[in-house]
């Protein structure tokens, strides 16, 4: 197979010839290594005017700040329109400028027929009239650069549930953030996958179908998300499995389509989707999310009352030299996947057992359309104590 750049030149030549530009025969559309006027002109191999296609600058690889699913390469092609300066130049100027506009329109954000690797083309206008060429060589020259964007060999394929993105369609940024429980322990990792992509199709109708398929796939949360090798079967280390997350994976943004400029929806559609998941860490120490307790003490001293008199101020009177010592022990604990045990009474012999309270609250529901998970199982307790001796002690350590 011929080199890609050479195939791009040949396909661009075919495309321009197919435009059937007025006054430009097929043989006047030339492919040359370097643009110039050699063998062009009266009595030479090619009569003026001509359109030349030549190599321009160096191909370049697009730099990306994400997981590279492919390597996009720009292949620049210089288009040069050459015509002789004649007295009728003003009469033909409109024709040559029309060629320039038609050529630009034929390639701008279009696929290149016959070269499957090329999925887009950017047009960079050059000088409409090259002054020096016109003055020194008596040639009217007009240039523009076609930057054909070719998708190189893909390395990864992105899948969400049963939906597989096309090879090289997407770019992915994966970020992770640690999650800490109230005890200060790292109990989970929040993963965020930001997916941007470019849907392409031959017609707007086919593009609509592709958009609908994308929207239907990401309408569901609770699906596995992962990058696979180019065979689409071998998994990589980058995966967010719904079963490994708390409540399943969640589509938190999109699909959204944030651009309507240029050829959007005519030739392609850019989109963005964000999927997140909270992956719990393993370990028995993490089963307890929170445990806290308070002790309230009162009583033990003398008790007095105030007696009201018929006339004069109330009179203070002590009615007991000592009063019972009382205490209230209250607290709560939260378990990640089950109810933890309540703390035991600190002074069991002095407890008013008839006043004991144990409360279990409904766990928090973490649910998607596909998965329901329960977490944060909370239990609360309250004990009351009374004794003739001082009740000594403090809250139970968590």
Closest of 101, 83, 79 to residue 13, by C-alpha: 79
255 within domain boundaries: yes
398 within domain boundaries: no
The residue out of 283, 300, 330 marking a domain boundary is 283
141 within domain boundaries: yes
396 within domain boundaries: no
Q: Judge if 177 and 267 occupy the same domain.
A: yes
Q: Judge if 16 and 147 occupy the same domain.
A: yes
Q: Judge if 252 and 291 occupy the same domain.
A: no
| pLDDT tens for each residue of the chain, 398 residues long | 578 889 999 999 999 999 999 888 999 899 988 876 676 665 567 778 889 999 888 777 754 434 444 567 889 999 998 887 654 455 677 888 889 999 999 998 788 888 877 878 889 887 766 655 554 456 778 889 999 888 766 678 899 999 999 877 888 999 999 998 888 888 889 999 999 988 877 778 888 999 999 999 999 988 999 999 877 889 999 999 998 888 889 999 989 998 877 667 777 788 999 999 999 888 877 788 999 999 999 988 899 898 998 998 999 998 888 899 999 999 999 998 899 999 999 999 999 999 999 999 999 887 766 667 888 999 999 999 999 999 988 898 77
The residue out of 283, 307, 342 marking a domain boundary is 283
For residue 37, give the DSSP letter: -
Q: Judge if 221 and 249 occupy the same domain.
A: yes
Q: Judge if 57 and 195 occupy the same domain.
A: no
Whole-Å CA distances, 300 to 296, 325, 330, 386: 13, 5, 20, 10
Say which CATH number the domain at 33 has. Answer: 3.30.2000.10
The residue range of the domain holding 198 is 156-283
CA separation for the pair 12, 104 (Å, rounded): 11
Q: Judge if 189 and 129 occupy the same domain.
A: no
Q: Judge if 186 and 91 occupy the same domain.
A: no
Residue 131 pLDDT: 57
394 within domain boundaries: no
Whether the link from the prior residue into 49 is cis, omega within 30° of 0, is yes
> How many domains in the chain?
3
The residue out of 151, 185, 212 marking a domain boundary is 151
Say which CATH number the domain at 246 has. Answer: 3.30.2000
Q: Specify whether the CB–CB gap between 193 and 227 falls below 8 A.
A: no
Q: Judge if 267 and 293 occupy the same domain.
A: no
Closest of 249, 295, 248, 294 to residue 273, by C-alpha: 249
Q: What b/e string do you get for 49-68 counting C-beta neighbours within 10 Å, with b at 16 or more? A: bbbbbbbbeebeeeeeeebb
397 within domain boundaries: no
CA separation for the pair 387, 347 (Å, rounded): 9
Alpha helices in 82-237 (DSSP H): 89-107, 131-136, 204-217
pTM, 2 dp: 0.65
Q: Judge if 249 and 343 occupy the same domain.
A: no
Place of tokens 């390395």: 155
Residue 137 pLDDT: 59
Q: Specify whether the CB–CB gap between 272 and 195 falls below 8 A.
A: yes
Q: Judge if 277 and 337 occupy the same domain.
A: no
Q: Judge if 21 and 146 occupy the same domain.
A: yes
Q: Judge if 90 and 128 occupy the same domain.
A: yes
């Amino acid at each position: 197979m011929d080199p890609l750049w050479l195939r791009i030149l040949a396909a661009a030549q075919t495309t321009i010839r197919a435009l059937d530009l007025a006054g430009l025969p097929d043989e006047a559309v030339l492919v040359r290594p370097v643009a110039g006027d050699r063998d062009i002109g009266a009595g030479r191999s090619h009569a003026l005017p001509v359109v030349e296609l030549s190599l321009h600058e160096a191909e370049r690889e697009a730099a990306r700040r994400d997981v590279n699913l492919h390597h996009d390469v720009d292949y620049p092609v210089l288009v040069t329109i050459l015509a002789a300066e004649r007295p009728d130049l003003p009469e033909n100027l409109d024709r040559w400028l029309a060629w320039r506009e038609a050529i630009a329109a034929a390639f701008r954000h279009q696929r290149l027929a016959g070269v499957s690797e090329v999925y887009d083309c950017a047009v960079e206008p050059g000088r409409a009239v090259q002054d020096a060429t016109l003055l020194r060589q008596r040639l009217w020259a007009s240039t523009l650069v076609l930057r054909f964007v070719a998708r190189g060999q893909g390395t990864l394929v992105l899948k969400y549930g049963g939906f597989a993105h096309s090879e090289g369609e997407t770019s992915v940024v994966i970020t992770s953030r640690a999650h800490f429980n109230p005890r200060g322990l790292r109990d989970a990792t929040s993963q965020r996958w930001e997916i941007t992509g470019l849907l392409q199709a031959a017609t707007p109708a086919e593009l609509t179908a592709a958009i609908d398929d994308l929207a239907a796939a990401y309408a569901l949360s609770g699906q596995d998300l992962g990058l696979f090798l180019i065979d689409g079967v071998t998994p990589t280390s980058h995966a967010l499995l719904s079963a490994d997350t708390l409540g399943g994976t969640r589509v938190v943004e999109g699909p959204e389509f944030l651009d309507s400029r240029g050829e959007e929806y005519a030739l392609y559609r850019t989109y963005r989707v964000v999927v997140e998941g909270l992956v719990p860490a393993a370990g028995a120490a993490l089963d307890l999310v929170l445990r806290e307790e308070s002790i309230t003490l009162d009583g033990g001293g003398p008790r007095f009352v105030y007696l009201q008199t018929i006339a004069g101020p109330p009179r203070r009177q002590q009615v007991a030299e000592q009063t019972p010592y009382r205490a209230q022990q209250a607290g709560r604990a939260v378990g990640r996947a089950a109810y933890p045990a309540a703390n035991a009474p600190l002074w069991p012999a002095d407890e008013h057992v008839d006043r004991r309270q144990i409360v279990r609250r409904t766990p928090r529901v973490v649910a998607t359309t596909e998965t329901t998970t329960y977490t944060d199982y909370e239990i609360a307790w309250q004990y009351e104590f009374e004794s003739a001796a001082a009740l000594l002690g403090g809250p139970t350590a968590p």
